[in-house]
Amino acid sequence: MSIHFGTSGWRAVIADEFTFAAVGRVTEAICAQFAGEAGRPMIVAHDTRFLGEAFAAECAEIVVARGFEALLCDGPTPTPTVAHAIRSQHAVCGINFTASHNPPEYSGMKLSTADGAPALPAVTRKIEELLENPAENRPKGAASKGSKSFDPRDPYLADLEQKIRFDLIGKAGGSYAYDPLWGTGRGYLDELLRRHGLGVKTIHNWRDVLFGGRAPEPEASHLQELRELVLADKCVLGLATDGDGDRFGVIDANGQFITPNQLIPIIFDYLAESRNWKGGVARSVATSHLVDRVAKAHGLPVYETPVGFKYIGELINEDKIILGGEESAGLSIKGHYPEKDGLLACLLAAETVAARGASLSEQLDQLFAQTGRLESGRIGVKLTPELMPVLQEKLKEEPTSVGGRKVKSINRIDGLKIIFEDDSWLLVRPSGTEPLVRIYAESESAKDVEVLLEQGRKYLLG
């Protein structure tokens, strides 16, 4: 069985490809990759998925046998919390057993390097090579000889408290609704808000390895119960995080779902206005150009990256940006970790509303009035073996028009991005986390986005 790392680690279906034997192989390869750092700690964690704690324990046992100290997180742990723990404990890396927002039948291993960032392709390619050519196995040691139970929660929460203006949020008052989607955010985001005197009603805050029968992704279609709670209790905001707490979803006070493509430029605009930070903004190739318009209004540069927060993380490490964001609900800021943090994003949304005394919907309308309206959307097409060669050929093409629209330029940072003469655009790229082809589109009207997405589907399928 061939194991490959995608946009964010290795993911596979439990008991199919994701087995204890496969976990052992990947852990051995990771240890071999960092063999020169033996003696240092590795952080090992898991989310709320089926067998997560058992996979993590198996991993920790191997880590110890290979001469590292294993700090085994006590209970389900968000990925951004692992990033903080790696830095605070001076660990060589972190391994989190999570499939993030994927459906419940999946599990995965997210690998983060010593800076707390998702491992870059240069690292994961070497691990894949080690998997193909494994070194001779050595006897395993007992986990009790070096594995230590470790609780990373409070230091992480204390760090967030230094980065969020809880004085402003507390002064504005009001109540919040929170949906961790049966994931790792429970006892984190809601706990922080309660510590600062705010009312919070939390739903889906128990472990369900089936995540209510759907993927633990904080998208609009999964947050209807949260929306109803926001409207019924007249909440300031409804906040949600995905299975491992690195993605966000936000419902405004009026019940409107604020998309990541909308929230990222709102928060960027707020930070550029309220903090005397220097630097630009980073967005993935699939993320709204509304970010670019806000950057232009502030006279700040834009960095466009491939999909995958590891690329934005590099810019955070280099202190080049105020904020980096992805349309798939990833966000981090200057001075934070080079990893997306859904809990941070939710709290920044609360701070933005409190500081400005305006709802997110009102702030979005103000942005549109200043920069012009932009709407965006995406669809997924199942990536079958038959479609794979078709996709590869399509990604090489140089179209001059699509659906009667003249092409202005082609962008190949990640997939095929077609920018039209009216500045609307279409992007086709394979997903790095699921067997799908993603088709993205942006235009000045929601109706035209639907047309563009269908044109993109026809372009792909012929």
Q: Which H, E and C letters describe 182-244, residue by residue?
A: CCCCCCCHHHHHHHCCCEEEECCCCCCCCHHHCCCCCCHHHCHHHHHHHHHHCCCEEEEECCC
Burial (0-12, 13-18, 19+ Cβ within 10 Å), 392 = exposed
Strand order across the beta sheet in which 257-258 lies: 199-202, 175-179, 237-241, 248-252, 257-258
Query: Using CA atoms, how far apart are residues 7 and 434, in angstroms rounded to an integer?
Result: 10
What stretches in the chain show pLDDT beneath 70? 135-146
**pLDDT (0 to 100) of residue 135:** 62
> Residues with Cβ < 8 Å from 21, sequence gap 6 or more?
none
pLDDT the model gives residue 299: 96
Q: How far apart are alpha carbons 304 and 321 in whole angstroms?
A: 12
Distance of CA 7 to the CA centre of its chain: 10
Q: Which domains does the chain have, with CATH numbers?
A: 10-153 (3.40.120.10), 163-371 (3.40.120.10), 375-461 (3.30.310.50)
d(CA 259, CA 177): 17
CA nearest neighbour of 63 among 151, 147, 149: 147
Q: Which residues of 206-222 are buried (b: 16+ CB within 10 A; e: fewer)?
A: eeeeebeeebbbbbeeb
The whole-number pLDDT of residue 207 equals 97
Beta strands (DSSP E) in 47-125 are 69-73, 93-97, 106-113
CA distance 348 to 343: 9
Backbone phi, psi, residue 439, to 5° = -120, 120
Sheet holding 302-305, edge to edge: 302-305, 280-284, 321-326, 330-333
| Beta strand spans in 56-121 (E) | 69-73, 93-97, 106-113
Residue 364 · residue 177 · CB < 8 Å? no
pTM listed for this prediction: 0.94
**Other C-beta atoms lying within 10 Å of the C-beta of residue 44:** 32
DSSP 9: B
Q: Rg of the Cα trace of the chain?
A: 22
Helical residues (DSSP H) of 219-323, grouped into ranges: 224-233, 260-274, 290-298, 309-317
**307, 414 contact by CB (below 8 A):** yes
- The secondary structure of the chain in percent helix, strand, coil, rounded to multiples of 5, reads 40, 25, 35
Q: What pLDDT, on the 0 to 100 scale, is given for residue 145?
A: 56
pLDDT value of position 140 = 45
